[in-house]
């Protein structure tokens, strides 16, 4: 984890932590130790190695940190309890806007359908608007290969994702439960280029087709949000398109809005926005 509490309950970022001072988990209050090696990002770890949030794992990638750190510190890694205070999770980013809580989850490592559903249900059930942002650029196992079906128009893209690398559980999400209430968004960070369907055949008449890049060296990084009606089949889908710069700009506008709202609230109540 990147944040812990000191004995007065102040939130401390790992790079501002000092040796010789005790730090505690903001959720379960267990003692934390500082991990400041050279391989993974500096972080706090539960001393007893038992993490109070089983969903908090593999959050040490540069990709994850880059997106998360665009937001004010007290909107990052926010402790979110359920109503009965029996379950706790750390939202990657949480902020409120016009009275509604928003949660952003950045997902770099593979996730199971079961965990995806549990995490989505947890935040949606508490009334948050939820946006998942998946990193499909740097995935190696398996590499995520999506093709652009035709040249992109300004804010629309048609994509084909035909391979076994597709995240199958996204093909059969219950869209009535999630997509149609407008409080649930999924965004993919991908690297894609124009593709074409190539026909193959054998002398015995057997034929099949594959998708290939028209020019494998002409690919671009972008963010795409599948249109909600496409969330039951991502083999071939339409999405809203953002080039990288545009998407980072959108995140930074959102972050600044969160910052302003937090400052207004702090001025009004004398407390910061996080729970
Ligand atoms: Zn804990």
Q: Side-chain half-sphere of 251: how many Cα atoms within 13 Å?
A: 24
Alpha-carbon distance of 228 to 178, in angstroms, equals 9
Interval between CA 255 and ligand 1 midpoint (Å):
26
Summarize the confidence of residues 87-103 as an average pLDDT.
92
Residue 215 DSSP class:
S
Q: Tell me the residue range of the domain where 127 lies.
A: 58-269
Tens of pLDDT, residue by residue over 184-235, are 899 999 999 999 999 999 999 999 999 999 999 999 999 999 987 667 788 9
Burial profile 36-59: b = 16 or more Cβ within 10 angstroms, e = fewer? eeeeebebbebeeeebbbeebeeb
Q: Do the beta carbons of residue 92 and residue 107 sit within 8 Å? A: no
Report residue 201: phi and psi, to 5°.
-150, 155
Interval between CA 102 and ligand 1 midpoint (Å):
22
Interval between CA 176 and ligand 1 midpoint (Å):
34
Interval between CA 113 and ligand 1 midpoint (Å):
24
Tens of pLDDT, residue by residue over 143-192, are 899 999 987 777 999 999 998 898 888 877 766 566 556 788 999 999 99
Interval between CA 26 and ligand 1 midpoint (Å):
7
Interval between CA 180 and ligand 1 midpoint (Å):
34
Does residue 187 fall inside a structural domain?
A: yes
Judgement on whether residues 44 and 146 belong to the same structural domain of the protein: no
Judgement on whether residues 100 and 219 belong to the same structural domain of the protein: yes
Judgement on whether residues 29 and 126 belong to the same structural domain of the protein: no
Does residue 275 fall inside a structural domain?
A: no
Summarize the confidence of residues 79-101 as an average pLDDT.
92
């Amino acid at each position: 984890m990147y944040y812990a509490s000191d004995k007065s309950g102040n939130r401390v970022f790992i790079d501002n932590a000092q040796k010789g001072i005790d730090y505690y988990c903001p959720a379960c209050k267990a003692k934390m130790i500082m991990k400041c090696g050279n391989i993974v990002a500096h972080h706090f770890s539960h001393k007893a190695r038992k993490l109070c949030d089983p969903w908090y794992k593999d959050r040490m990638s540069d990709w994850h940190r880059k997106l998360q750190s665009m937001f004010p510190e007290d909107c990052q890694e926010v402790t979110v309890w359920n109503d009965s205070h029996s379950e706790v999770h750390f939202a990657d980013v949480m902020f409120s806007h016009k009275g509604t809580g928003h949660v952003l989850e950045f997902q770099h490592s593979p996730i199971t359908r079961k965990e995806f559903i549990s995490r989505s249900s947890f935040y949606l059930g508490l009334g948050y608007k939820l946006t998942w942002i998946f990193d499909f650029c740097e995935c190696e196992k398996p590499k995520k290969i999506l093709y652009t079906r035709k040249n992109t128009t300004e804010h629309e893209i048609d994509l084909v994702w035909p391979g076994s690398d597709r995240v199958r559980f996204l093909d059969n999400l219950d869209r009535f439960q999630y997509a149609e209430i407008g409080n649930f968004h999924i965004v993919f960070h991908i690297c894609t280029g124009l593709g074409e369907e190539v026909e193959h055949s054998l002398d015995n008449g057997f034929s099949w087709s594959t998708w290939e890049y028209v020019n494998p060296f002409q690919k671009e990084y972008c963010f795409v949000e599948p249109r909600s009606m496409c969330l039951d089949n991502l083999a071939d889908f339409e999405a809203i398109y953002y080039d990288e710069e545009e998407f980072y700009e959108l995140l930074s506008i959102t972050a600044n809005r969160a910052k302003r709202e937090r400052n207004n609230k702090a001025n009004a109540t004398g407390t910061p926005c996080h729970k």
